[in-house]
Amino acid sequence: MKLRTIAAAALASTMIAGGAQIAQADEYSMYSPMPAHDWSGFYVGKFAVAAMEIYDGGIYGFGGFGAALGYNWQDGSTIYGIEKFVGFAPDGDDILASYQVTGRIGTVLTENSIIYGSLSAGFTNAWDEAYVAFGGGVEVAMNEKLAWRTHVQFTPFDGAVIAGVATGFTYNLD
């Protein structure tokens, strides 16, 4: 009986001491919030894209993927950014490609999230012409480097409207 009591006391004291060390061991433990995210700097991103073309004859839907390289500047709670995006989508035996440059301006919602509007100029081999698009999105920092983003974009073109959603991750290179 004494052995069980001594073993239980030793186990309890080890758990208490170990718990105190764990709480002090990591500045970013699950019990403390992450510091405010700094949105400034270069980043890369990878996105899944879903879109639909709405025109007089109906609706045509497609999906694909894209990649981005960009730079953000943060001035207080205001975010400015420029981004190069390349997207690809299968279309039967063809691959549709879209290349665009996007300007972003937004604001910090919380210490680790932003909301922004965007204006893009691009070119796609689907029309062999340039286009202008507008949209916006939300980005949430997962940690110091990784953020999740969802972006909605509308592209009016030749009597049709392309409505698209891209969601994925960005990785801060700074």
Does residue 48 share a domain with residue 22? no
Q: Does residue 19 sit in helix, strand or coil?
A: helix
Does residue 45 share a domain with residue 28? no
What's the pLDDT score for residue 120?
A: 97
pLDDT tens digits for range 94-118: 888 999 999 999 999 999 999 999 9
pLDDT tens digits for range 6-51: 444 444 444 444 444 444 544 555 545 667 889 999 999 999 999 8
Does residue 120 share a domain with residue 84? yes
Domain that holds residue 8: 1-32
Average pLDDT, the chain: 84
Q: Does residue 47 sit in helix, strand or coil?
A: strand
Does residue 141 share a domain with residue 122? yes
Mean pLDDT of 66-84: 96
pLDDT tens digits for range 140-173: 999 999 999 999 999 998 788 889 999 999 999 9
E-strand ranges in the chain read 41-55, 58-75, 78-91, 94-110, 113-124, 129-141, 146-157, 160-172
How many structural domains compose the chain? Answer: 2
pTM (two decimals): 0.77
Does residue 119 share a domain with residue 60? yes
Does residue 54 share a domain with residue 20? no
pLDDT higher than 80, residue 123: yes
Residues 6+ apart with CB under 8 A from 113: 138, 139, 140, 141
Does residue 73 share a domain with residue 50? yes
Does residue 23 share a domain with residue 50? no
Does residue 89 share a domain with residue 24? no
Per the model's pLDDT, the better-predicted residue between 11 and 64 turns out to be 64
Does residue 93 share a domain with residue 50? yes
- Domain with residue 132: its CATH number is 2.40.160.20
Does residue 129 share a domain with residue 74? yes
Does residue 59 share a domain with residue 22? no
Distance CA 70, CA 146 (A): 14
